[in-house]
Amino acid sequence: MDVADKATLPRYRMTTTAELYTPNMEQTLSMDGKIMTPLMKHENIYSQPGIGHHGGSMLDEISSMPIPAVAPDHACSMLTSHAQMYASYSQHSSVMCSPSSAIHQHELDCDPRELEAFAERFKQRRIKLGVTQADVGKALGNLKLPGVGSLSQSTICRFESLTLSHNNMIALKPVLAAWLDEAERQAHAHHAEVFNTVTDKKRKRTSIAAPEKRSLEAYFAVQPRPSGEKIAQIADKLDLKKNVVRVWFCNQRQKQKRMKFSANMMPHHH
DNA sequence: CGTATGCAAATAAGG
DNA sequence: GCCTTATTTGCATAC
């Protein structure tokens, strides 16, 4: 009867048009100039540096950190990331110097080259600390940057391999930089703290089982946009949260739209 | 075991 | 409060 797992705090919010992540900034797909819609979903991907993993576990909890309060943000592009403001770069200090340096700093943040370098450095130092991607993701929640919760191993992995959108990379960079900073500080100080359990939780993802999924598809075939009441009814019947069902229908509509669109212009159709 | 990844939930933002 | 569109993530599971 209520949104039980609605505990997530406002998270980041970069958004706006996706930007391709390419060191060379290729402007693929120019088309007519307005039809880049949900089709070509996945953006960036100029993937992998090198692999090379390592074993090393050891957990260490990073936690609180003074809130930097970096400030000015003159978007070099368009993004409103909050996370971006809570940076605490390795060499703190340069932040509040002068407007020009602040802007300069920001430009660096947006530079694909810099991001790439950071990602690599990050991975290398993470491994040196003997921490896994999963550990990092979990630790981010203990680091108490406003609006920053834990992340999955997947996301950390994607950050390191640059398989996230450019904007997403830019938004996550300061957060990971802050974690790295704190992790190294604590490693050196020999203390692994864990104060606070206020750990902002990571986004949860419901897994809808195959049988339920089949039922939903059947309902969808009959009525792609059920009324709120119908949705509640279906949710009850499948023993799923109403919101889960509502979102499923929304996503299903998006998916259908994508399929229809791509099927339409695929140069194969005959 | 730790890391990639495919598929698709959950969210953000404007209506 | 729900819809759409665009995007960010996470579960599951393959390497």
- pLDDT tops 60 at residue A73: no
Q: What is the pLDDT of residues A159-213, one digit of tens each?
A: 999 999 999 999 999 999 999 999 888 877 776 665 555 667 899 999 999 999 9
Q: Please give the nucleotide, over all strands, whose C1' is closest to the CA of residue A172.
A: C8
pLDDT of the residue at A206 = 97
pLDDT, mean over chain A? 70
Q: Could you read off the pLDDT of A208-221 as tens digits, one per residue?
A: 999 999 999 999 99
Q: So what's the pLDDT on residue A97?
A: 53
Work out if A154's Cβ lies within 7 angstroms of strand C: yes
Q: Is there a contact between A77 and A150 (Cβ–Cβ < 8 Å)?
A: no
Q: Which residue has the higher pLDDT, A13 or A270?
A: A270
Scanning every strand, the nucleotide with its C1' closest to A242's CA turns out to be C2
Mean pLDDT of A217-226: 97
pLDDT at residue A133 greater than cutoff 90:
yes
**A97 CB-contact burial (10 Å; exposed 0-12 / middle 13-18 / buried 19+):** exposed
Return the pLDDT at A16. 38
Give dist(CA A246, CA A232) in Å, integer. 8
pLDDT for A184: 87
Tens digit of each residue's pLDDT (9 = 90 or more) over A110-119? 778 889 999 9
Phi, psi for residue A185 in degrees, rounded to 5: -65, -50
According to the model, what pLDDT value does residue A186 have? 82
Q: What is the pLDDT of residues A154-168, one digit of tens each?
A: 999 999 999 999 999
Q: Which of residues 108-167 of A touch strand B (CB under 7 A)?
A: 127, 132-134, 153-154, 157-158, 160-161, 163
Q: Tell me, what's the pLDDT at A27? A: 36
- State the residue for tokens 């999924």: A213
- Identify the burial level of A111 via C-beta atoms within 10 angstroms of its C-beta, where 0-12 means exposed, 13-18 middle and 19 or more buried: middle
Alpha helices by DSSP H, listed for A9-145, are 99-110, 112-128, 133-142
Q: What CA–CA distance (Å, rounded) separates A187 from A39?
A: 45
Tell me the pLDDT band of A146, cut-offs 50, 70 and 90.
confident
Residue with nearest Cα to nucleotide C12 C1': A207
What is the tens place of the pLDDT at every residue in A46-68?
333 333 333 333 333 433 333 33
Task: Return the closest nucleotide (C1') to the Cα of A56.
Answer: B2
> Residue A86 gets which letter from DSSP?
S
Mean pLDDT of A2-28: 39
Per-residue pLDDT band for A261 (boundaries 50, 70, 90) equals: confident
Closest by CA position to A201, among listed A144, A135, A154, A141: A141
Query: Is the per-residue pLDDT at A93 higher than 90?
Result: no
Domains of chain A from N-terminus onward = 112-195 (1.10.260.40), 210-262 (1.10.10.60)
Q: CA dist A88 to A96, A182, A188, Å?
A: 12, 9, 18
Asked which of A51-60, A104-113, A119-128, A226-235 is least confident by mean pLDDT, the reply is A51-60
Q: Report pLDDT for A267.
A: 65
